[in-house]
Amino acid sequence: MKRKIAGFLFASILFSSPAFAQEDYTVQAGDSLWKISEKFSASVSEIKEANQLASESLSIGQKLVIPGSGKDSKEKKLAVVQAGNLNLRESSSLDSKVITMLHRGTSVEVLDKGEEWSKVKAGEEVGFVATEYLNFNREKASRSSNLLSERLRSITSDLIGIPYRYGGTTPKGFDCSGLTAYVMGELGVDLPRSSAEQFSVGTKVSKGDLVPGDLVFFDSLGKGDISHVGIYIGNNKMVHSATKKVEVSDLDWYFDHYPYYGAKRVFEFDS
């Protein structure tokens, strides 16, 4: 009898629990995982996991399952940093430790909005920021992100083909960190000179959550240190100053051939 009751209770719980909300989507021309994730408010990593994707490469007509996109799913609340530099703190107090600094225009996920302090997620970091320095207009956040992508494409397209030059920091010739410092400088962000120093600033970003403007870091010399940096531009591509010139490369090739140290979000753009 006890076994029957236990089985009945288990079955009742199983069939009365709501199914996970999801939606089917067919990949269109010009789609990328990042664009699809923005459209449905599901992270790139969630979409990849739901569809067992090994990379971000997509084919037109490909069928995808979008997790958490049904009517019962909870939409992420986004906000844009509208201060020049905003401290992300461990707790809701000016006396608490600063986790990192967020630049103007950075998009964050709002976990809990408060009158004075709000709990947010920026990249992989979770902490508290002053609510007055956040813009909660989701549509504006999306427009700001699109503006960054457009400006990034405009700047980097004119630099493709410029020869590699060790120590180079100008359009006469770039090394890898010279290129990233130059491009981010055009976007209003001052970066340290070397790739290792550049890795020490910004907010950590997981591989599955990369957006255009994020910096990606590798050990291209095989010496156990960061020795190469590029700028993610979407569609699993990065622009970087390679061994001979500035070019666009597929990230999967770099992931397969060099140790990957991670990504940092350091950009700022008009909000």
pLDDT in tens, 33-86: 767 776 776 667 778 888 888 887 888 999 998 876 544 444 568 887 777 678
The domain that holds 89 is classified in CATH as: 2.30.30.40
Say yes or no to pLDDT of 7 above 50: no
CA–CA separation, 195 and 66 (whole Å): 36
Residue numbers annotated as active site: 176, 228, 240
Q: Angle, to 10 degrees, between the axis of helix 138-157 and the axis of helix 176-186?
A: 130
Q: Is 155 in the same domain as 248?
A: yes
Is 185 found in the same domain as 246? yes
Looking at the domain assignment, is residue 271 inside a domain? no
Q: How far apart are CA 60 and CA 29, in angstroms?
A: 6
- CATH code for the domain in which residue 42 is found: 3.10.350.10
109: its two tokens: 């996920």
Which DSSP string do the residues of 39-61 spell out, in sequence order? HHT--HHHHHHHHT-SSS---TT
Residue 144 and residue 258 in one domain: yes
- Report pLDDT for 1: 40
Count of domains forming the chain = 3
SS3 of 118, please?
strand
184 and 218, same domain (yes or no): yes
State the residue range of the domain holding 181: 140-265
Enumerate residues 6+ apart whose C-beta is below 8 A from 118: 79, 110, 111, 112, 128, 129, 130, 131, 134
Task: Say if residues 161 and 245 touch (Cβ distance below 8 Å).
Answer: yes
Which pLDDT score is estimated for 144?
A: 59
Average of pLDDT values for 124-139?
A: 83
Q: What are phi and psi of 232, to 5 degrees?
A: -70, 135
* Cα 60 to Cα 188: distance, rounded to the nearest angstrom: 36
- Tokens read off for 148: 């960054």
pLDDT at 25 over 80: yes
pLDDT at 40: 72
Does 14 share its domain with 37? Answer: yes
pLDDT in tens, 172-189: 999 999 999 999 988 878
**End residue of a domain, out of 89, 119, 136:** 136
| pLDDT for res 234 | 86
